[in-house]
Amino acid sequence: MLQGKVALEEHVALEALAGVGPPSASADVNDPDYLADVRQRLGETSRRLDDMDRCGIQWMVLSLGNPGIQAIADPTRAIDTARRANDELAERFVRVHPDRFAGLAAVPMQDPAAAGDELERAVRDLGLKGALINGYSNTSLDDTETVQYLDEPPVWEFWARAAALDVPVYLHPRDPLPSQRRAYAGYPALIGSAWGFGVETASHVLRLMLSGLFDRFPGLKLIVGHLGEGLPFLLPRVEHRLRHVRPESRGAAQRPLTSYLTSNLWLTTSGTFRSAALLTTLLEVGSDRVLFSVDYPYERIDEQAEWLETVPLGQAERTKIGRTNALHLLCLEAA
């Protein structure tokens, strides 16, 4: 088994988030025993380290999962909670195990200027390696439909800071808005990780591409999980059909959409262990753009690690995907 792997989409529970914001709308469809095990592992360190050791993982890059800070509509509260969460992540995990855990900061996108300040503080003072954002952010205390997506003009101030710091941002899934769930009526299990997460996040990435964000900040680094939420397979069709639409209907992108996929995005294997899908992704983006991840504790480390060994790859490619790509992207020290 490949040793020294780096896993990027791995989650923790933090006391700073206790009782803050609504839970994921799809959480109550999970089996109670599964959910109880997940909740225990989210806040526990020794079992996590044991799992890592058993499966050849040197580094876990830790972050908050869905919906995190993005569900806190009050900007003042979001700013305070993000700061406390990042301090706790650094103190409880990163500083206690500096050779095993790294972190991605929570950022209060309800106030993009404050989010940029917090990202800089987290990177420079706490040693965190970038940010993870759970999709759109709620911006109204009275209306759950009032949200802000990351391509919208007020957020570009934050993207400028991320580009200047030269750190990646992980776009993590979130449940689709309540008004967009009619297609799932009668099948609530589809709202979250089984399907809705991917549709919501892939659409969010398309918004970022079409907005011209990556033309404005060509060095911006975006990480997307679950083998890119289907984008390596679907994006060529989107690009092809957009040739036939009126220019004002398709945003400000100056380049083919697939060029952003191969120049600004890194894709992780989190929770997606099918060899044919990985090989097709590699054909689209190349082995420099793919990163091993588990999605712990929602997925099992042994299942994901054992699968990586079975993919028909040369050892050099397997090592890049499992280890060295992440070391370079996040500036982690090799063992």
Name the active-site residue from 143, 215, 295, 302: 295
The answer, yes or no, to whether residue 22 has pLDDT greater than 60, is no
Residue with token string 């294997």: 269
Q: pTM to 2 decimals?
A: 0.97
Residue (of 130, 127, 212) closest to 165 by Cα position = 130
Mean pLDDT of the region 59-83: 97
The CATH code of the domain at 5-329 is 3.20.20.140
Catalytic residue flag (residue 295): yes
Helix (H) / strand (E) containing 238: helix 231-242
**Do residues 60 and 101 touch, judged by C-beta distance below 8 A?**
yes
The CB density around residue 155, as the number of other CB atoms within 10 Å, is 21
Q: List the domain boundaries for the chain.
A: 5-329
Tens-digit pLDDT profile for residues 282-328: 999 999 999 999 999 999 999 999 999 999 999 999 999 999 999 99
